[in-house]
Structure 1
C-alpha cells in the first residue's frame, strides 16, 4: 500500500519505458508514483536481444534490475495495481485503480504498452514470443537459416518476405485464407521462390512453445521451426482515450518527437506509442519522456 496519495507525476506502466522515465525523473528529484499491473506483453519471451549490455538476458531479470535501480531514488515509489480510471482536475489528474485507490498528480506518463489479440488458431498464443515472433531484430538471429513461416497477408506479408529473407532463404508465406497480395507483390515474392499457401490453419503444433508444425483445416501439415506474425492489438489501458488522447490510424497513441500527446501535461512512451516494439526502443522513449517532462516543469516553475 502506498501511504502518499499526491505526486508530481504518475507513471502508469512499470516496465522498461515506465521505469526509464521514472529514472530520469527520480534523478531530477521529482516525486513520482509508478502504477503497474505486473502483466508485460513480453512475459513469455525467454530472452531479450538487440539491447546493448543486456543482449540475451531474460526480460524479467532486466525489468527487476531496472526496478531495483529506480527505487534507489527516494522520491520514486512503486504501487502494484491496475489503473482503470483517470480524470482531469483543476490541479492535474486523479487516477483510480481497480482496488478503488485514488492518487493525484500534476502530470501523467502512460507507458502502458499494448494488448495483443491472438488469432483463433490453436497453439498460437502458447508460442507467441517464443517461436511465433514479430521482430527479426529481436529474435531473427536465433532462428537464422531455419525453415521459417510468415503468417500474414497483403502488404504485411510482402514486407515480411522482403525483410525476413535477410535472415533465412527457407521462407513460406501462409495467408490463412485467400491471398490479398497484389499481383505485383505476388510476382515479386514468387520470383524469389517463396511459396504462398492459402489454406486455412487449424493449429500450430508445438512443444513447450517451440513450433514444430502448422496443421491445416484439411489435416495436411507443414514442418517448420519459426513463424513471423504481427497479430492485431489494442491499447492495454483505456485511460488515455478517457482523457481525450488521440490515437493514430494504426491504433498507437499519437505523440510528437518529445513523447507529448495532444493533451497538455500527458506524455506517452514505449509500445503504446510506437510500432518499434523493442526493449531498447522503450527505454529510449521513456528516457526522453522523463527528461522532457522535467524540463517542462522547470520552465513552469521558473516564473
Structure 2
C-alpha cells in the first residue's frame, strides 16, 4: 500500500522525544509521520536510570514499548529511513528522504538528537555508554564509591567533578593537555583531593566495554572502574540549520519555553535543544512539544 505523503505534522527522529511528541499529537487525532533512521546515540548503553517506572530497563526496552504504544493511534504513521533535506513550501514544509521520497506537513518537529565528537582513543567506542559515561544522574549511582576518572578540561571538567565528587572519594581529571582551570577552580579541586593529570591518553583497556585501565602516552597505566567524558557535539541532522533555525552558543537548537525554534512552524525537543541529556527529559520535552504544536494547529484552524 502506498504511503500517504501529506500530514499535519512531520516528526524527524523517532526515539524518546519524537515518540512522546507523536503520542501527544496522536491522542488529538493529528495526522503525524515519524521519520526515523534507527540509530539512537545510546544504542549500546546496558541500562537506563533516573526515569520513574522504567529505572534499570535497557534503552531498547523503553523505546520498543513506547513505539508499540504510539502505533495504537491510527493517525500516526512511521517511515524507516533518513531525512536528508527540508524545504519551506507555500502550505508548510517538505521533507525529502535519502531514498528520494517526499512528504509534506504544516508543522515540523525535530527530535534528531546530537552526535558526540569524541577523541580518537583506542578502545573508546567499545566503552562509550557502558563504563565510559556522560551523565552522573543517568549512570553515576551504579559506579558510586568506585575509582573514577573524568576526561574533560576547563569548565566542563570542573562541573562534572563537582557532581561526581558526591559519589566517590577517588576521583581524577584527565585533561589530555594543559589544564585550563582557573585559580579558584584549581584550589577547589585540591581541597576535594581531586587529582589532575595532563598527559595524553593512548588507549582504554577494557573487558566487553567495562574499563580496566587507561594507558597514557608516557606509558603509565592507571586503573579505573568508570570514566566520565565531556566533549563537544554536533547536531545529528543539518536540516534545522538549512531551514534557518538559530543555535545557542553551545550548539543546541535555540527554542523558547514552548519548544518553538526561531523559524515559524518548526519545533525541537530532546537532546538537540537541551543540555539535560536523559530519557526522562526527552520524554518530557517531546510531550510538551506535541501539545504546543497541537495548540498552534488548533488556533490556526478553529
State the TM bucket, normalised to the shorter chain: over 0.9
Is 1:277 aligned with 2:277? yes
- d(CA) in 1 for partners of 2:196 and 2:55? 34
Secondary structure at the counterpart of residue 206 of structure 2: strand
- 1:238 aligns to what? 238
Q: Which shifted more, 151-160 or 84-93?
A: 151-160
Written as runs of structure 1 = structure 2, the 5 A alignment for 1:219-234 is: 219-234=219-234
- d(CA) in 2 for partners of 1:25 and 1:126? 37
Written as runs of structure 1 = structure 2, the 5 A alignment for 1:23-42 is: 23-42=23-42
- d(CA) in 2 for partners of 1:72 and 1:188? 53
Written as runs of structure 1 = structure 2, the 5 A alignment for 1:55-66 is: 55-66=55-66
The CA deviation at 1:120 is 1.2
Gaps of 5+ in 2: none
The CA deviation at 1:156 is 1.3
- d(CA) in 2 for partners of 1:52 and 1:7? 33
Query: Measured at CA, do residues 218 and 2 of structure 1 come closer, stay the same or move farther in structure 2, by a change above 3 Å?
Result: farther
The CA deviation at 1:2 is 5.6
- 1:267 aligns to what? 267
- d(CA) in 2 for partners of 1:130 and 1:5? 39
The CA deviation at 1:73 is 0.2
Gaps of 5+ in 1: none
The CA deviation at 1:74 is 0.2
RMSD: 0.9
Contact 2:152 2:230 in 1 (8 A): yes
Contact 2:201 2:215 in 1 (8 A): yes
Secondary structure at the counterpart of residue 218 of structure 2: coil
- d(CA) in 2 for partners of 1:286 and 1:128? 25
The CA deviation at 1:250 is 0.2
- 1:22 aligns to what? 22
- d(CA) in 2 for partners of 1:127 and 1:232? 18
- How many residues end up aligned between the 2 structures? 302
The CA deviation at 1:10 is 0.3
- d(CA) in 1 for partners of 2:98 and 2:204? 35
- 1:70 aligns to what? 70
Contact 2:157 2:230 in 1 (8 A): no
The CA deviation at 1:121 is 1.1
Written as runs of structure 1 = structure 2, the 5 A alignment for 1:65-144 is: 65-144=65-144
Q: Once the two structures are superposed, what CA deviation does each residue of 1:32-74 show, in whole Å capped at 9, x if it has no partner?
A: 0000000001111010000000000010110010001001000
Query: Measured at CA, do residues 250 and 79 of structure 1 come closer, stay the same or move farther in structure 2, by a change above 3 Å?
Result: same
Contact 1:2 1:79 in 2 (8 A): no
- d(CA) in 1 for partners of 2:212 and 2:268? 38
Secondary structure at the counterpart of residue 256 of structure 2: coil
- 1:172 aligns to what? 172
- d(CA) in 1 for partners of 2:297 and 2:3? 24
- d(CA) in 2 for partners of 1:101 and 1:260? 26
Query: Measured at CA, do residues 51 and 151 of structure 1 come closer, stay the same or move farther in structure 2, by a change above 3 Å?
Result: same
- 2:293 aligns to what? 293
The CA deviation at 1:278 is 0.2
- 1:160 aligns to what? 160
- d(CA) in 2 for partners of 1:158 and 1:76? 44
